[in-house]
Chain A
């Protein structure tokens, strides 16, 4: 018996289990992937998460609504403004309060700037994943300018705690609008250069076109949202479909994947949707800056947030997709339960569906194109 077993282990070829992460250069944080490989071909992927779990939802049960805002910042640390905004509109829905026009406009400007910053990181790190290092530093250089704007706005560069239920923490600093427009004037030509360097590069297209195709149906079934879903040609954007804030007053398009370089929903499409979205964000910011009304940004901030008994679900289109906050209030200043729907979690779930059967290098590229943030997945 034993002899046979030894023979088996010597003679049989088997699959090799590779443990990618949690300390791996391109798992975007502390994601661990158990990969079953046959040579270079990947036959099975098991994502293992939880290395960045910080008990966000449990903490919320002990904190007042105002104190939760800095915590939601830390969920999606690349798009903190979006998290603040998502949580604030949910609480406002629960409180049923009116928000001043100026606050809404400021929030939209900030949110779209944040979208540009977040997508820049996504595109840059995606470049790193396929082996191009220069696009990353170019993207980070431009993101730096957005962060400078945010620093002028609220003093912080990564975790802002800027958008509060009922308002924003500070009014816009002097010359903020001018600086923002200046940034956009600078940024548009930079994007063309970025496209020349990476998006239209022959090797890059070879690496990404037709790779890891996400069919629209599979995407919808897995609950994929955001740019990753729109890359598959599904026209679903909460800013259009369920407009919150003042998005219904603004004119912008929702870029969709068209299969320009290969199949609809391939890695290149998911990548390029983000490039186009940054242009749309620029368009939104220009309009919002032009229409920015005057007013007091603090007037609607409640002295004490003590919602009536009830529950509410708020949805928000963040840089990664559909963020949802489900809050149950029992009439105290502390929520009974806060549940967060993480878009990156659902986006990650589809990885094993679309990346199996591809090579190790492709798995890295597909993972990069889904643009996950582990802080948000683990919470």
Chain B
């Protein structure tokens, strides 16, 4: 698998430039690409979240703001420019820092959270060769980098000097750290079977055998443990206790506004995209076409299987997973703190551990 950075370096090398010049330029290009992905993802995802929630609640959602006078349709695409307008509003908003806040940490915290999401994107493949940098420990790297954000959450809650923020950050720390364990165990199971930490190898394994979710009953279970845990990891309802707006006002984000708050938002939706893509790569066959499973289609349709379609399929799967996350969010009430911990430590972790054992046995037997 070649990565974007590799091919960029290769093409720049033809200009006979020093590697010390090429590397910063290439890194800058890669970083800009990631930032654009995050920004566009947030713009689109927020719009969809608003519209989906609106239709679930018998409303219309944003209907007024268009882009350059283009207002979209009468229903779904009406108000298409709303998130863009909101983004501009957030960027030009007055910058508020509470008097008694720890200003250095308070300014630092959003950037740490943003960095966590940003760094994770480096290792996330969007298709066969579309990945910023191709790690041979990709899955481990993504798992490690996505844990950085929690430091920012704790800092944000502590530095705000607000009791609600403190509560929110304590809850978030406990929740995010706890739910990393079932996620890690579910991913470990995949690594155990494929024998590789490389995401490309994992997808190749699935191309040779079958999608992981259909591999055995235990991997089927592991997918759901993984998926539910990632909802908790991204702090979404029914696991949104860190920001629980009816209890903690806005949790650890209470004192933030403007650009810094926008960074939180950007990272939240970036994390949603990351976990959905990882779930589709690891369990749902990544950039493989779902049509491959069924051999009933005529040969002319197999054009949909080609490598060019990889990006489409992976985003298709990720968007479905994101939609289910939104669906869950706008349907369920919120769990209580202790129930959340109970679910993690007494249900998910034992199940994931036993799962690991049974998958090993399954591999021995079959």
Interface residues of A (CB under 8 A from B): 16, 18-19, 24-26, 40, 127-134, 137-138, 141, 197-198, 201, 203-204, 206-207, 359-362, 364
Within 8 A of A (CB), among B158-188: 163-164, 167
Contact stretch, chosen from B131-139, B280-288, B331-339 = B331-339
Contacts known (A207-B335, A207-B336, A359-B338); A131 close to B240, Cβ less than 8 A = yes
A201-B333, A361-B247 known; 14 new pairs, CB 8 Å cut-off, are: A19-B163, A40-B337, A131-B244, A131-B246, A131-B333, A131-B334, A138-B57, A198-B333, A203-B238, A203-B333, A203-B334, A207-B333, A207-B336, A361-B334
What 9 A-B pairs have minimum CB-CB distances, sorted nearest first? A131-B334, A137-B57, A132-B333, A26-B246, A130-B333, A131-B333, A361-B336, A204-B333, A203-B333
Within 8 A of A (CB), among B236-285: 237-238, 240-241, 244-249
Within the complex, what minimum Cβ distance (angstroms) separates B165 from chain A?
12
Contact B246 A25 (CB under 8 A): yes
Contact A137 B335 (CB under 8 A): no
Closest to B171 in A: A40
Judge whether B94 is part of the interface by a CB distance below 8 angstroms. no
Main DSSP-derived SS at the B contact region: loop
Judge whether B58 is part of the interface by a CB distance below 8 angstroms. yes
Chain B residues with CB under 8 Å of A141's CB are 58
Chain A residues with CB under 8 Å of B335's CB are 203, 206-207
Contact B336 A128 (CB under 8 A): no
Chain A residues with CB under 8 Å of B241's CB are 361
Chain B residues with CB under 8 Å of A206's CB are 335-336, 339
Q: How far is the CA of A201 from the CA of B335 in the complex (A)?
A: 12
Chain B residues with CB under 8 Å of A24's CB are 249
Within the complex, what minimum Cβ distance (angstroms) separates A27 from chain B?
10
Contact A127 B333 (CB under 8 A): yes
Chain A residues with CB under 8 Å of B333's CB are 127, 130-132, 198, 201, 203-204, 207
Contacts known (A134-B56, A138-B57, A203-B332); A128 close to B246, Cβ less than 8 A = yes
Contact A362 B336 (CB under 8 A): yes
Contacts known (A132-B333, A133-B330, A203-B238); A360 close to B56, Cβ less than 8 A = no
On chain B, which size bracket covers the interface?
A: 20 to 34
Judge whether B103 is part of the interface by a CB distance below 8 angstroms. no
Q: How far is the CA of A135 from the CA of B25 in the complex (A)?
A: 52
Chain B residues with CB under 8 Å of A134's CB are 53, 56-57, 330-331
Q: How far is the CA of A197 from the CA of B238 in the complex (A)?
A: 14
Within the complex, what minimum Cβ distance (angstroms) separates B245 from chain A?
6
Judge whether B215 is part of the interface by a CB distance below 8 angstroms. no
Interface centre among A131, A203, A360, A362 (most CB of B within 10 A): A131
Q: How far is the CA of A129 from the CA of B248 in the complex (A)?
A: 11
Q: How far is the CA of A264 from the CA of B279 in the complex (A)?
A: 44
Determine which of B59, B167, B244, B248 lies in contact with A137 in the assembled complex, contact meaning CB atoms within 8 Å.
B59
Determine which of B163, B244, B332 lies in contact with A132 in the assembled complex, contact meaning CB atoms within 8 Å.
B332
Q: How far is the CA of A134 from the CA of B53 in the complex (A)?
A: 8
Main DSSP-derived SS at the A contact region: helix
Q: How far is the CA of A18 from the CA of B165 in the complex (A)?
A: 12
**Could you jot down 6 A-B contacts, CB within 8 Å?**
A18-B163, A131-B332, A141-B58, A203-B335, A360-B248, A361-B334
Interface residues of B (CB under 8 A from A): 53, 56-59, 163-164, 167, 237-238, 240-241, 244-249, 330-339
Contact A131 B163 (CB under 8 A): no
Q: How far is the CA of A137 from the CA of B163 in the complex (A)?
A: 30
Interface centre among B57, B164, B330 (most CB of A within 10 A): B57
Closest to B56 in A: A134
Chain A residues with CB under 8 Å of B245's CB are 25
Closest to A26 in B: B246
Q: How far is the CA of A206 from the CA of B332 in the complex (A)?
A: 12
Chain B residues with CB under 8 Å of A131's CB are 237-238, 240, 244, 246, 332-334
Chain A residues with CB under 8 Å of B167's CB are 40, 360
Closest to A128 in B: B246
Q: How far is the CA of A201 from the CA of B237 in the complex (A)?
A: 14
Q: How far is the CA of A359 from the CA of B245 in the complex (A)?
A: 16
Closest to A40 in B: B337
Closest to B338 in A: A359
Chain A residues with CB under 8 Å of B248's CB are 360
Within the complex, what minimum Cβ distance (angstroms) separates B354 from chain A?
23
Chain A residues with CB under 8 Å of B337's CB are 40, 359, 361
Contact A364 B58 (CB under 8 A): no
Q: How far is the CA of A132 from the CA of B56 in the complex (A)?
A: 12
Within the complex, what minimum Cβ distance (angstroms) separates B240 from chain A?
7
Chain B residues with CB under 8 Å of A207's CB are 333-336, 339
Closest to B54 in A: A137
Within the complex, what minimum Cβ distance (angstroms) separates B327 from chain A?
11
Closest to B245 in A: A25
Chain A residues with CB under 8 Å of B59's CB are 137
Q: How far is the CA of A24 from the CA of B244 in the complex (A)?
A: 12
Chain B residues with CB under 8 Å of A364's CB are 246-247
Within the complex, what minimum Cβ distance (angstroms) separates A64 from chain B?
43
Chain A residues with CB under 8 Å of B332's CB are 131-132, 201, 203
Closest to A208 in B: B333
Within the complex, what minimum Cβ distance (angstroms) separates A310 from chain B?
48
Determine which of A16, A127, A129, A138 lies in contact with B163 in the assembled complex, contact meaning CB atoms within 8 Å.
A16
Chain A residues with CB under 8 Å of B238's CB are 131, 203
Q: How far is the CA of A25 from the CA of B338 in the complex (A)?
A: 22
Q: How far is the CA of A131 from the CA of B53 in the complex (A)?
A: 14
Chain A residues with CB under 8 Å of B244's CB are 131, 361
Chain A residues with CB under 8 Å of B336's CB are 206-207, 359, 361-362
Q: How far is the CA of A201 from the CA of B27 in the complex (A)?
A: 49
Chain A residues with CB under 8 Å of B339's CB are 206-207
Closest to A125 in B: B246
Q: How far is the CA of A207 from the CA of B335 in the complex (A)?
A: 7
Chain B residues with CB under 8 Å of A16's CB are 163
Chain A residues with CB under 8 Å of B249's CB are 24-25
Interface centre among B56, B246, B332 (most CB of A within 10 A): B246
Q: How far is the CA of A129 from the CA of B244 in the complex (A)?
A: 9
Q: How far is the CA of A43 from the CA of B248 in the complex (A)?
A: 18
